[in-house]
Amino acid sequence: MAFTQDQIVLAQLSVAFGQGAGTVFVSEAAVSAALAHFTPVVPGFVARWGEVALQTLEYARTVGRTAALLAAQRGSDAISADDFQTGLTRVRATGQSYGPCPFRHGPGQAPLA
């Protein structure tokens, strides 16, 4: 089975999110929220994957770590869709620079070109 470059990049982002989540289970709702966030943006930067991969994967790992912490803080062993969304918001709010990461924009801002 052949995969498109978009599918491969999306899989890499999913793996990085899971690396960040560690041993915390990721609910189906959280997976759906993550895919809804990542999927529409991937086609816009897949041609530049070689230059944005490291920062973009670290961004996904950081969101996963933050979502896992949020789940643990509420006493759960599973990341929820809300944990994902809140984690995403917190990672964006830190002001951390992820270089040319296409996802570092916040709500209402355009993705990086």
Structural domain span for residue 81: 5-93
List the end-to-end C-alpha distance of the chain, in Å, as a whole number: 31
Total domains in the chain come to 1
Task: Say if residues 27 and 79 touch (Cβ distance below 8 Å).
Answer: yes
> So what's the pLDDT on residue 102?
73
pLDDT in tens, the chain (113 residues): 899 999 999 999 999 999 999 999 999 999 999 999 999 989 988 999 998 899 899 999 999 999 999 999 999 999 999 999 999 989 888 766 666 677 765 444 444 43
Query: What is residue 97's predicted lDDT score, i.e. its pLDDT?
Result: 63
| pTM (predicted TM-score) | 0.86
Is 107 a member of any domain?
no
Q: What is the CATH number of the domain that holds 10?
A: 1.10.8
